[in-house]
Amino acid sequence: MIKRLLFISFLILLCTCKQEKKDSIPVKNPTSNISIQYAKGFTVEKQPSGITIIKVLSPWLNSEKTYTYALIPKEIQAKVSLNRNEYDAIISTPVEKIVLTSTTHIPALEELGLLDKLVGFPDTKYISSKATRKRIEAGQIQELGINENLNTEAVIALQPELIFGFSINGSNAVYETIQRANIPVVYNGDWVEETPLGKAEWIKFFAPFFNKTNEANLIFTEIEASYLEAKELAAKATKRPTVVSGALYKDVWYLPGGKSWAANFLRDANADYLWSTSNESGSLSLSWESVLDVAQHAEYWIGPAQYASYDEMKSSSQHYQQFDAFKNGKVFSTANTKGETGGTLYYELAPQRPDLVLKDLIYILHPGLLPNYEPFFFKPLL
């Protein structure tokens, strides 16, 4: 069961699930300095009254509902009257006590200098951030069970001002119980984004809850500049190496669709991902024979699921040995970059730092373009 959960976790981060396409025109709010350029899953509007309206458009795959949250500064709260039926939650800002439910939320909180606001988290053993682990060990962040079955008594006892929720289908009875205790749940849909910079831009989603919009804009601008500079460098490469990805789970080979998060990284790294022309924004499910037919002679294998060594791959399936990338030692994985408790750092930090992911790929796929670079996430298989 643990292996299955790890594999599914890998797929969620490797591939972005299918979603309805939305207009790609940047969202610019006329009453605010908040501009959302890459992310498609949320909007932020600061009204002249001082109230901020956040809409989450795609909290999970094929979501049919838009979630609307009203953020009211505490200093004007007494003067404001809103129709609660029009909002999924009304929240006083800045928020002082929160619960997170996904490790991908932690880097944004840490970058904004807000770790002291985090009082609870499910499955704390998977957190890799050193700063967050210190707070866990000091008893400042409480263990809350697992996301699908949060310890509701512990959550209610903490009395957080809100929970940043994560869901893959919107069905979570625990969240409903918590909301009945007057603790709002705000859905975060960063995992649905298809583009690297789209995921990273969700730091702007967290910021208004803490009056940190200016800080979030500056942080994202630096990440964006670093990413685009790396992309421009990759474009100078004269050769586009061929790439295969993914691995077998039971009898099915899962690999990124051509419009997925992972495929967009490879495209920006100026690589020839052999399934780049597929229209899937999620994962493809193929037979190993069909993958071998297309990618037997691929030069590189990027992201072989959870595997950390060639021996692990061989013991799992003899089919892997038929691929040139395997024979030539050109398989690269994130599985060997772990936090102190064994969590894979890529799952936690990569969505927030796509520039590091892209530089890793450029270093691997285009030797010489980043001669002094030290790979951060992707390392050769052991």
Whether 12 is in a domain gets the answer: no
Task: Examine the fold and report which residue of 179, 208, 223 is the final residue of a domain before the chain moves on.
Answer: 223
Whether 9 is in a domain gets the answer: no
Distances (CA, A) of 97 to 141, 176, 255, 341: 11, 19, 39, 25
Per-residue pLDDT band at 30 (split at 50, 70, 90)? very low
Q: What is the mean pLDDT of residues 137-149?
A: 91
Whether 7 is in a domain gets the answer: no
Q: What is the mean pLDDT of residues 192-220?
A: 96
Sequence-ordered strand ranges (E) for 262-378: 272-273, 283-286, 300-302, 331-333
Residues 120 and 173 occupy one common structural domain: yes
Give the angle subtended at the CA of 183 by the CAs of 214 and 92, to the nearest 5°. 35
For residue 64, what pLDDT is reported?
Answer: 85
- Alpha-carbon gap, residue 28 to 35, rounded angstroms: 5
Question: Structural domain of residue 136, as residue ranges?
Answer: 29-223
Per-residue pLDDT band at 12 (split at 50, 70, 90)? very low
Overall domain count for the chain: 2
Q: What is the mean pLDDT of residues 101-120?
A: 96
Q: pTM of the prediction?
A: 0.90
Asked whether 64 and 52 are in contact (CB, 8 A), the reply is no
Task: Examine the fold and report which residue of 189, 205, 223 is the final residue of a domain before the chain moves on.
Answer: 223
For residue 262, what pLDDT is reported?
Answer: 96
CB-facing half-sphere around the CA of 237: CA atoms within 13 A: 24
**CATH label of the domain that carries residue 218:** 3.40.50.1980
Query: Is pLDDT larger for residue 146 or for residue 93?
Result: 93
For residue 143, what pLDDT is reported?
Answer: 96
Distances (CA, A) of 292 to 8, 227, 242: 22, 32, 13
Whether 251 is in a domain gets the answer: yes
Task: Examine the fold and report which residue of 189, 206, 223 is the final residue of a domain before the chain moves on.
Answer: 223
Residues 233 and 217 occupy one common structural domain: no
Residues 91 and 143 occupy one common structural domain: yes
Q: What is the mean pLDDT of residues 33-60?
A: 92
End-to-end CA distance of the chain: 24
Q: Is the pLDDT reported for residue 198 higher than 50?
A: yes
Residues 171 and 313 occupy one common structural domain: no
- Please report which helix (H) or strand (E) contains residue 363, including its range: helix 354-365
Share above pLDDT 70 across residues of the chain, in percent, rounded to a whole number: 91
Query: Is pLDDT larger for residue 7 or for residue 69?
Result: 69
Whether 146 is in a domain gets the answer: yes
Q: What is the mean pLDDT of residues 60-66?
A: 87
Per-residue pLDDT band at 173 (split at 50, 70, 90)? confident
Q: What is the mean pLDDT of residues 353-368?
A: 98
Q: What is the mean pLDDT of residues 62-67?
A: 88
Query: Is pLDDT larger for residue 147 or for residue 49?
Result: 49
Q: What is the mean pLDDT of the chain?
A: 90
Residues 40 and 185 occupy one common structural domain: yes
Whether 201 is in a domain gets the answer: yes
Whether 21 is in a domain gets the answer: no
Residues 50 and 185 occupy one common structural domain: yes
3-class secondary-structure state, position 332: strand
Residues 191 and 300 occupy one common structural domain: no
Whether 293 is in a domain gets the answer: yes
Supply the Cα-derived Rg of the chain in whole angstroms.
Answer: 21
Residues 211 and 76 occupy one common structural domain: yes
For residue 90, what pLDDT is reported?
Answer: 96
Reference 56, options 64, 65, 47, 66; nearest CA is 66
Residues 69 and 129 occupy one common structural domain: yes
Give the angle subtended at the CA of 53 by the CAs of 22 and 181, to the nearest 5°. 110
Q: What is the mean pLDDT of residues 331-358?
A: 94
- Alpha-carbon gap, residue 322 to 10, rounded angstroms: 23
Residues 278 and 334 occupy one common structural domain: yes
Q: Is the pLDDT reported for residue 284 higher than 50?
A: yes
Per-residue pLDDT band at 33 (split at 50, 70, 90)? low
Residues 180 and 198 occupy one common structural domain: yes
Residues 62 and 111 occupy one common structural domain: yes
Q: How many CB atoms lie within 10 A of CB 51?
A: 18
Q: What is the pLDDT of residues 226-248, one digit of tens each?
A: 999 999 999 999 999 999 999 99
